[in-house]
Amino acid sequence: MKKEFNLEQKDRIIEMAWEDRTPFEAIKFQFSINESEVIELMRTELKQSSFKLWRKRVNSGVSRKHLMKRNPEIARFKCSRQRTISHNKISKR
Predicted pLDDT of residue 11: 92
Residue span of the structural domain in which 53 resides: 7-81
Q: Which residues of the chain have pLDDT under 50?
A: 93
pTM for the model stands at: 0.64
Is residue 15 a part of any domain in this protein? yes
Predicted pLDDT of residue 64: 60
Is residue 1 a part of any domain in this protein? no
Is residue 53 a part of any domain in this protein? yes
Predicted pLDDT of residue 21: 79
What angle (nearest 5°) sits at the alpha carbon of residue 9, between those of residues 55 and 46? 35
Predicted pLDDT of residue 12: 92
